[in-house]
Structure 1
């Protein structure tokens, strides 16, 4: 089945809110990673989201080129072709585009979709994220509103971040007062006032409730999902039930199930996953190398074993390991057996 079109993607998100589950949005940096996500979604009978960050996209284009837009296009085109062989829906998303790289990442990708639509072809990506969390809220929204208007014209969903996710993502550290780690109801109301001015546009909001990028030992990160509950209540009071946000959970690695499920109860329909799947991808490779060091390396003048150092051998293991971690995420997010294909 092809990558989800706009109408299908909207149905996916609305159904997650209605049925009380969330989609795993998994960052990938290679075709192998994308294949792992598709494998996991299909075997779990779940739809989902494959996403590419600025750093992941630059990596995908090669160390000599380092072109974020080109790398993202390459991965997206692969997913469009391979998704035809799967019996679930997958959406394509870009992650954490900050203001200073808009013109070299998201804008060229929107332009690519505009060119495709003019030629009668489907959208390249399903949605994009603008991360204006490092600038004042007014500046964040002043950039987001016209960007949302442009996205709406091409049936693209825009994700924004209101508040700051701590930790480090793609080498970018989020610094600032700890209060910024918690989005206020006032922040959410202001975001709604601004974004709702774009008629018929669909958007996602990453509100922060103590989230931190990276991985930490249990107890280090103090999440407060009730922040989301309070914000949604404020929105409902002003805009009614339909005014509640479709929320995104960033920095979820190492989070407890109670916090994850509470966040879903309060409107999270998309949870980003990166650190945990990076480890799940790398762990089988390390295991293979340790167990087969004398085959991977030409030890003491020997010739090694070609099958041991053939990248297909250990990348197949990496794909399988990452797929299993995505399947666990689907269980944690209550998404197993929820594909629209079976509805």
Structure 2
């Protein structure tokens, strides 16, 4: 087939990538930072999926390439998708490798990333490090991770000195690592002192890697036992004052307001959640929380949010989808029927069918 006007032998490209440990020239050609091009992303993508036209990691990048493919054609759609999401070649390979390692176990990549039993993030990383190709990808992400802390004086130097990057268990060292002042990488992460991902898309893969490492191995849920809500509220407000575009901080502040449930607390929680969504419009966690907040107050907003949630995450199985489905037990049936009817008039049959099934046959 052809890609960007060039003839591409998919079988040869696939063989080269899968045998990368035997081809050091290919390693040098593919992985240097100054050689990370959209075209090489496309070659790797096409090779790994064997010419299929659907991205297997839709949850991670919060989109489905088939929408662009249908509108623009596959080649143009792929290019637009990669540009829109700032996907680097190493990041693409890192997550495709993770997907490849686990797809035979019946778990999609998103389930693995969010530590859905029986998989844990540590297991995925262990598997990734078993072969040379995955090991190379890991170390490029690890280097990006280190550079995320380089805006703090001497921090990057301390990290490089403290980590044995030749150790296959480097991720364990990351969890245990402490700076000279006793703080950990998690402290820096929680206090939002890392270099912002939004200003450098190359950090996106490293940020996802770090999230994968620190992800709790239990079901995530909206906070229902915040020990000191006023203190947490002050901490989050300080973060937002310094970085108004921190979507996660807005979302967490909404959780605090929802927990406090004081006068106007629900409205403030919705405002915070809407600010988070305005910054990160394809985050299904934020959408699920907004749906939860609005269901009993604003049917239109709740169902608009639900429709967006279904478009982004149409499959059952994760915690937030199950929670959304549970909330539909007290839905306004008359409004739901009219809303679903309008979806069908707008030629959104898949969303309408899923919504119908979730409400009446979960």
TM-score (norm 2): 0.28
Structure of higher RCO (CA pairs closer than 8 Å, 6+ residues apart):
1
Structure with bigger helix share is 2
**More strand as a share of residues:** 1
TM-score with structure 1 length normalisation?
Answer: 0.29
Q: Return the index of the structure with the highest Cα Rg.
A: 2
